[in-house]
């Protein structure tokens, strides 16, 4: 057998499906086998592979063993002359495997090969070619020097950025996203090192290939799409710690004791430095909007209070210092809290949520104001004037932040993308129907003919005219039909149109999903029929608000409820934990793995509690998925009412 393809999957079902379609198209004419090793996904990946890809050899793990271990499971079973380690969030061209195998056949000194990779917007991914992360190279990378001098042969070695990305080169390190290996060499030097759970294993294996006297090649004569996974978010603290710890494993294994110590020192410095920067930057981003809102509103009160005093009483200093020390901050904090629950700080920002939050906050302030003693009721008019000013100033502050063009401060401006759908008529209609059944704001400008259909006014033009169509119709997004357009042509057009900064999506052959990625900060966008996921910010707020409200009510009526509880101490402890956000009334059933679901607080109860202990692990997994997919406050209330006597349980 010529080629064994190994894909390790973890909870990226739709990307895996698209990847497998492209892989099986590319294996035509090549004696090959395809392994899918699933690391205990809970998104239905295994069922999808069994249903749609009978020719794939599925290894379904019952826990997540990590990237190296999973690849090694398939490597020991592989019978191909070459082994390809391939990420599930990739799309290969139809001739990719033929080209890379032919190159390896012609270059007997080649131990491994990587290809040119682009992201979902058609941009070149620099990790397609990398240098060995020696202490010096790592230092230049960690402290940003390599980014300042990308063309320098001294400072640009991490991504070998001084090498032409369109020419074949010998390189030190191959990317684990697409890593073609000679099986006889792997048998000689060993498989992936399982000390690496994630990250670093590709560097380690690449280094062992060169130490064995073979070469690693960067081969740009074929291009693949590599969507960037959530696990590779470079700004996350988890990525910083896991990646740099992998570098420490590498240094201890391959460098001299002196260099390993230097490298370890550098890595530890990098971890703390990058972690501090990441935490500080994230905190500043989180607090920027609330701090600006607080500052603008407080300045507003400083301005309007003397003006109102002059108008009402004929003098400017009519209110005591306590008004600005206690009352005004209390008003503003109330508005900020209601803004949080109204979605005023969600991203992308929506001005409508800000208006709603201020209105609700004003109503709460006025309600409490009427209950205060006379000496603490400073002025109802100033509250209303402050609210009116906040209605104006807070949106202005948001607009000012939006003008910084930082992704975190984007306003959700209701302008539909000008979308083009490319394919044949039948598939175009299926994609259009899918888009119509989502909550996406799209302006489908027209369609591009990918076949030989007669043009009866349905199409704007043919694929060969796509650049002209993009210019004339000011297109911002293109959806390609994978059923009608070959992967190599999709990638060709993405490269052709790279200067237009378009968004790209690929409609899967099943006609049910449309996948793409507009940013390296996202794993990709999935257009499918809308579900009410518990991971949505508004649902998280609703759930937390329900927890707070019910816990307060429960505490108030606890003298009555305690008579019905077998363990009153645990009952009160649970309710207080919910009030302070340590627990939630409803959480996942812990009989099943929840690693692939949105994170929730531990629950006192779970969706299967009404069954009173008759649940199984399979039922628990399904109930967790259903709960996470279609969240409803009403369902939470029903669950709590049905299981209220179980609120005194010792643990969930």
Q: Say which residues have a Cβ less than 8 Å from residue 185's Cβ, sequence separation at least 6.
A: 111, 209, 212, 214
**pLDDT(30) > 90:** yes
Q: What is the CA radius of gyration of the chain?
A: 29
Give the residue extent of every domain in the chain. 3-129+165-228, 233-410, 417-527, 537-646
Q: Which CATH superfamily is domain 3-129+165-228 in?
A: Spore Coat Polysaccharide Biosynthesis Protein SpsA; Chain A (3.90.550.10)
The CB density around residue 407, as the number of other CB atoms within 10 Å, is 11
Considering only residues 468 and 268, tell me which one the structure prediction assigns the higher pLDDT.
468
Same topology, domains 3-129+165-228 and 417-527? Answer is no
Indicate if the pLDDT at residue 578 is higher than 70. yes
∠ CA 482-487-493, nearest 5°, is 100
Instruction: Please determine, for residue 524, whether its predicted confidence score (pLDDT) is greater than 50.
Output: no
What is the per-residue pLDDT across 151-199, written as a single tens digit (0 to 9) for each?
888 888 878 888 999 999 999 999 989 999 999 999 999 988 777 656 6
- Whole-number Å distance between alpha carbons of 491 and 344: 39
pLDDT over 60 (residue 358): yes
Confidence of residue 331 (pLDDT cuts 50, 70, 90): very high
Task: Looking at mean pLDDT, say which of 81-90, 274-283, 338-347, 539-548 comes out highest.
Answer: 81-90
Average pLDDT in the 510-534 region? Answer: 54
Dihedral of alpha carbons 573, 578, 583, 588, sign: positive
Q: Is the pLDDT at 314 greater than 90, yes or no?
A: no
Rounded CA-CA distance 583/502 in Å is 44
pLDDT at 512: 60
**Which is more confident, 314 or 109?**
109
Q: Band of the pLDDT at 239, cuts 50, 70, 90?
A: low
Q: What's the pLDDT at 192?
A: 85
Q: From 244, 236, 287, 289, select the one nearest 263 (Cα to Cα).
A: 244
CA 217 to chain centre: 31
Instruction: Report, in this order, helix, strand and coil percent for the chain, each rounded to 5.
Output: 50, 15, 35
d(CA 125, CA 517): 13
The residue written with tokens 């650049």 in the block is 467
Q: For residues 464 and 448, what is the distance between their CA atoms, to the nearest angstrom? A: 9
Confidence of residue 519 (pLDDT cuts 50, 70, 90): very low
For the chain, the first-to-last Cα distance in angstroms comes to: 51
For the chain, percent of residues with pLDDT exceeding 70: 85
Q: Which CATH code, of 3.60.130.10, 3.40.50.261, 3.40.50.720, 3.30.360.10, is assigned to 417-527? A: 3.40.50.720
Q: What is the rounded average pLDDT for all residues in the chain?
A: 84
Q: Provide the 8-state DSSP code for 535.
A: T
Tokens of 224: 């693949």
Our measurement of the distance from residue 238's CA atom to the centroid of its chain's CA atoms, rounded to an integer in Å, reads 13
- pLDDT, residue 209, reads 94
What is the pTM assigned to this prediction?
0.65
User: What average pLDDT does range 221-230 have in this prediction?
Assistant: 81
How confident is the model at residue 52, as a pLDDT?
Answer: 92
Cα dihedral 426→427→432→435 (10° resolution): 150
Least confident of 439-443, 571-575, 578-582: 439-443
């Amino acid at each position: 057998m010529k080629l064994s393809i190994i894909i390790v999957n973890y909870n990226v079902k739709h990307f895996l499906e698209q990847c497998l379609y492209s892989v099986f198209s590319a294996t035509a004419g090549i004696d090959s086998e395809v392994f899918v090793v699933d690391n205990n996904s809970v998104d239905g990946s295994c069922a999808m592979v069994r249903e749609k890809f009978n020719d794939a050899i599925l290894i379904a793990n019952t826990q997540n063993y990590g990237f190296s271990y999973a690849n090694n499971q398939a490597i020991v079973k592989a019978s191909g002359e070459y082994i390809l380690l391939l990420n599930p969030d990739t799309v290969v061209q139809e001739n990719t495997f033929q080209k890379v195998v032919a190159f390896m056949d012609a270059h007997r000194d080649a131990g491994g090969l990587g290809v040119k990779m682009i992201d979902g917007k058609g941009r070149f991914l620099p990790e397609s070619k990398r240098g060995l992360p020696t202490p010096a190279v790592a230092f230049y990378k960690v402290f940003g020097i390599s980014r300042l001098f990308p063309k320098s042969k001294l400072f640009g070695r991490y991504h070998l950025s001084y090498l032409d990305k369109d020419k074949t080169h010998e390189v030190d390190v191959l990317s684990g996203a697409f890593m073609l290996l000679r099986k006889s060499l792997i048998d000689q030097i060993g498989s992936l090192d399982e000390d690496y759970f994630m990250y670093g294993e590709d560097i380690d294996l690449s280094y062992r290939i060169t130490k064995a006297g073979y070469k690693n090649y960067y081969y740009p004569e074929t291009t693949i799409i590599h969507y960037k996974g959530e696990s590779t978010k470079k700004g996350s603290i988890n990525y910083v710690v896991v990646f740099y710890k992998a570098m420490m494993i590498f240094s201890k294994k391959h460098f001299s004791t002196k260099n390993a110590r230097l490298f370890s020192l550098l890595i530890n410095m990098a971890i703390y430095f990058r972690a501090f920067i990441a935490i500080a930057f994230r905190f500043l981003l989180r607090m920027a909007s609330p701090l600006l809102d607080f500052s603008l509103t407080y300045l507003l009160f400083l301005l309007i209070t003397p003006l109102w005093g002059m108008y009402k009483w004929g003098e400017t200093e009519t209110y005591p210092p306590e008004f600005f020390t206690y009352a005004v901050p209390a008003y503003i904090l109330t508005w900020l809290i209601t803004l949080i629950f109204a979605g005023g700080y969600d991203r992308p920002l929506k001005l409508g949520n800000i208006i709603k939050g201020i209105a609700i906050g004003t109503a709460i302030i006025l309600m409490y104001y009427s209950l205060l003693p006379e000496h603490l009721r400073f002025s109802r008019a100033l509250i209303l004037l402050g609210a009116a000013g906040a209605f104006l100033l807070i949106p202005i502050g948001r607009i000012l932040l939006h003008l910084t063009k930082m992704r975190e401060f984007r306003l959700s401006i209701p302008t539909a993308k000008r979308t083009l759908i490319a394919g044949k008529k039948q598939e175009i209609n299926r994609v259009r129907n899918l888009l119509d059944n989502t909550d996406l704001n799209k302006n489908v400008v027209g369609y591009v003919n990918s076949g030989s259909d007669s043009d009866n006014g349905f199409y704007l033009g043919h694929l060969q005219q796509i650049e002209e169509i993009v210019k004339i119709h000011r297109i911002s997004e293109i959806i390609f039909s994978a059923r009608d357009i070959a992967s190599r042509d999709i990638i060709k057009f993405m490269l052709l149109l790279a200067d237009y900064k378009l968004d790209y999506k690929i409609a899967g052959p099943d006609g049910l999903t449309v996948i793409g990625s507009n940013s390296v900060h996202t794993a990709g966008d999935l257009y499918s029929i809308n579900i009410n996921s518990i991971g949505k910010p508004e649902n998280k707020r609703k759930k937390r608000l329900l927890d707070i409200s019910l816990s307060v009510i429960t505490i108030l009526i606890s003298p009555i409820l305690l008579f019905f509880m077998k363990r009153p101490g645990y009952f009160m402890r649970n309710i207080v934990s919910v009030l302070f956000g340590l627990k939630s009334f409803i959480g996942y059933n812990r009989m099943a793995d929840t690693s692939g679901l949105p994170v929730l607080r531990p629950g006192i109860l779970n969706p299967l509690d009404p069954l009173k202990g008759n649940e199984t692990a399979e039922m628990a997994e399904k109930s967790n998925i259903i709960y996470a997919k279609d969240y409803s406050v009403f369902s939470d209330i029903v669950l709590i009412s049905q299981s209220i006597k179980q609120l005194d349980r010792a643990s969930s």
